[in-house]
Amino acid sequence: RKEVEQDPGPFNVPEGATVAFNCTYSNSASQSFFWYRQDCRKEPKLLMSVYSSGNEDGRFTAQLNRASQYISLLIRDSKLSDSATYLCVVNGDNFNKFYFGSGTKLNVKP
C-alpha cells in the first residue's frame, strides 16, 4: 500500500466552480500534512499546511480527518490560474521524511 494516495484526475472544471480533492495516508503516526501545487516543468510550491482544526486561505480550505486518515483541499471560485497539479504531502515516522502523493491534475477552463 502506498504511503499517500491521491486521485490522479484530471479534474476538468469551468471557471468559478468549486472543486475538492482528497488524499489518504497510511501512517497513523503522521503529524505534518501539506498541499503543494506544481506547474508543468516547475518545482512544487507550498500552497498550505494542513492543521488539525482545518484552515482557510482565501479561496482555499484544507481539512484533516485523523480518524479516517485523509486530508482534503477545497478550491472555491476556480480561476484559470489554478490549473496545476496538486500534491498531497505527509510526513512519516521520521519527522524529517516526507511522502508525496502522485498528484491530482486540475484543469480550469473558461
Partner 1 sequence: GAVVSQHPSRVICKSGTSVKIECRSLDFQATTMFWYRQFPKKSLMLMATSNEGSKATYEQGVEKDKFLINHASLTLSTLTVTSAHPEDSSFYICSATGTSGRVNEQYFGPGTRLTVT
Considering only the stretches 10-18, 36-44, 54-62, 65-73, report the one whose residues sit in contact with partner 1 under the rule CB under 8 A: 36-44
Considering only the stretches 11-19, 39-47, 52-60, 68-76, report the one whose residues sit in contact with partner 1 under the rule CB under 8 A: 39-47
Among 78, 83, 76, 73, smallest CA distance to 34 is for: 73
Q: How many residues does the chain have?
A: 110
Is residue 101 near partner 1 by the rule CB under 8 A? yes
How far the first Cα of the chain sits from its last, in Å, is 38
Strands 84-91 and 33-38: antiparallel
Is residue 102 near partner 1 by the rule CB under 8 A? yes
Q: Which three cell numbers stand for residue 107?
A: 484543469
Contact positions with partner 1 (CB under 8 A) in 13-32:
31-32
Q: Which residues bind partner 1 (CB under 8 A)?
A: 31-32, 34, 41-46, 49, 87, 89, 91, 95-103
